[in-house]
Structure 1
């Protein structure tokens, strides 16, 4: 491996990337002021693309923060940044095989347990990449290999990315987000432990093994280490690629409509089961973590970001949900205060804004079925959320709430991309056991 991934080298590369990004962002802002027009807004920001390129090369915690930024509301990010940053979610560049092979050899001593390993990665992310392989017994597997040296650079990466966020003023009242960065650091270090992730694969496999439409790949314990995770290979297509391929016909072809709605129902089934029954949440909403089989079954991948949820939080979320369905404003506010969304000192407009946001969020569960096609639920939710954040002076939620909301927002984004029509109320009622459903 020829790349220098030491903390010092990474810090230098990241600072160089951030300096170049800041310079270009300043030029873009100046052009917009001089032109007094929004003609640059519809294009991807050159500054953001420079940042994306640098973060993609570095991987690690810096890239993870870039992925988080891609989910920030467009009204907070500079024009053209959101579309550019979204590339970090699904278009990460893989490392060359000459970089990966020594990592595998270090873990296993040799490659004698494999009939072959494809040298070209099938997927790359912030902490590693996946190669298709075959074991000597004929089993096809997915080999997830972790990039070395990432744990040593976490604090430095996050410190420098926080400087960028401060300079760019992406998040006003940034001091309130110190504990969020602490949580991101903890989560990232947890993701680097592939034994922990293996255990969550096994946990989810047991919980969903009787659901024929939700598939969790089995782990191969003898080929799992802290830095390499090996699971059963599932013949399926990345959900994002499936969406891109079928975008033109997904609302007109009867077979695709059926698959579209099935996938939408399964996505809701998974996230509500996680929160209200498993007491856990896979907090990374990247569409690359879902695969689609030929029969439109849903394959779940990547459990490194899985978090256990406190019983108190689950009860509060349940109370908030039920109160919203019942349109009980008093109980909604009561639950919101317990969860830290609202506080005693908030102005009345904060409470009213939160109530409006809940009205939008609960829409899919008020009638027998709901269509996400042209519903613009995400856009309306974002707009109201920004108003709410301003009314609370951008007070940060607890990390536990932040990670759940991150997953729910990602789920909503996928639902709108699908444009699915789903009997959402029945799914929620059944999982929450409302009226004995």
Structure 2
């Protein structure tokens, strides 16, 4: 079973773009003041001292930013998680280390806020048919998950609830974070943030569309129905809306559980092979990939016959690729295996890769 988040829940959530902008502007002013003081002090430091001071400064900046993003949730926190994942290529190591704290089990939002959101989305009549556990079984940057039982038939389900205000603040959040990274000097001047944030913005708009996620959950359920290695939770349409996704509850342990960590090597090898084969099917056959493969999106369950199945969760980041893109990418891999350098370059240029 998933372990409930241990942090005290957030009793309030800034949902309006203005309030979120104001919070980030405040931290931006603090960053600017610290940056000015740091720059002045660096004038009197030797090279070694300046390097140590810079490392401490970037670590402090990263921790301050991570804390604020975690409190604000939504697109800001999700963008911070992505920066932690890919920032090693352009951010100071100290800042990346600080931002990686956002990858841990996220602080949940108080039940009173979630209950109001659920009532707005489902209405009182549908809410009355459910017994919902106010303690979330999972909390993330954009929403959190609550376990529930339907009173009519006692079926267990999970309700994934989008935090209020997230959908309305994505574009504003990205503009604000882009400005803050520029003023904090965490982002090198040689890096143009606009393409990166454009990609993040597009991804966030997709992830907050729970109707879209329902669509892909159902597609994966059909495609993997005959593969006994995987479990895709069935969608419960009666409780699905733009901001609520309802699926059947599927038991399983996360990758850090003792029951998973103690699996024999041959079982672990089989699980890894299954996950790799799934990606191959996704990309090269289906042209559709769940692009957020962090281990929080997987559970592992031992059947009565002793076999371990992989429970697949969260299809919000699923992305479709054109046949042309898949064909060109396949050509790159084939040429690489044949050590055909010219063909690798030609196929990469067809995908508009820069060299």
Q: TM-score range by the shorter chain?
A: 0.7 to 0.9
Equivalenced residues, count: 333
Structure 2 residue corresponding to 1:162, chosen from 169, 178, 192: 178
Distance 1:174 1:74, change over 3 A: closer
1:292 matched to 2:304? no
Structure 1 residue corresponding to 2:102, chosen from 56, 81, 88: 88
- Alignment partner, residue 366 of structure 1: none
Distance 1:234 1:153, change over 3 A: same
Distance 1:171 1:39, change over 3 A: closer
Structure 1 residue corresponding to 2:236, chosen from 203, 208, 220: 220
- Alignment partner, residue 70 of structure 2: 56
Write the distance in 2 (CA, Å) between the matches of 1:334 and 1:222.
50
TM-score when scaled to structure 1?
0.70
Bigger relative CO (Cα 8 Å, ≥ 6 apart): 2
Write the distance in 2 (CA, Å) between the matches of 1:264 and 1:86.
24
- State the Cα distance separating 1:47 from its structure 2 match: 2.3
> How do 1:3-152 and structure 2 match up within 5 A?
3-21=13-31, 35-36=49-50, 45-74=59-88, 76-110=90-124, 111-114=127-130, 116-136=131-151, 137-152=153-168
Write the distance in 2 (CA, Å) between the matches of 1:52 and 1:187.
20
Distance 1:213 1:171, change over 3 A: farther
- State the Cα distance separating 1:86 from its structure 2 match: 1.7
1:334 matched to 2:338? no
- State the Cα distance separating 1:85 from its structure 2 match: 1.3
Tell me which moved more, 7-16 or 258-267. Answer: 258-267
Tell me if the contact between 2:24 and 2:180 (Cα under 8 Å) persists in the aligned partners. no
Write the distance in 2 (CA, Å) between the matches of 1:22 and 1:43.
12
Write the distance in 2 (CA, Å) between the matches of 1:44 and 1:159.
22
Tell me if the contact between 1:21 and 1:48 (Cα under 8 Å) persists in the aligned partners. no
Write the distance in 1 (CA, Å) between the matches of 2:123 and 2:191.
46
CA RMSD of aligned residues (A): 2.7
Tell me which moved more, 211-220 or 34-43. Answer: 34-43
Task: Give CA deviations for 1:191-223 in whole Å, capped at 9, x if unaligned.
Answer: 211111111100111111111112111110011
> How do 1:246-395 and structure 2 match up within 5 A?
255-294=263-302, 295-342=307-354, 350=355
TM-score when scaled to structure 2?
0.84
Q: Which runs of 5 or more residues in structure 1 are unaligned?
A: 343-349, 351-437
- Alignment partner, residue 408 of structure 1: none
Distance 1:45 1:27, change over 3 A: farther
Q: Which runs of 5 or more residues in structure 2 are unaligned?
A: 1-10
Tell me if the contact between 2:80 and 2:102 (Cα under 8 Å) persists in the aligned partners. yes
- State the Cα distance separating 1:43 from its structure 2 match: 11
- State the Cα distance separating 1:41 from its structure 2 match: 5.6
Tell me if the contact between 1:121 and 1:130 (Cα under 8 Å) persists in the aligned partners. yes
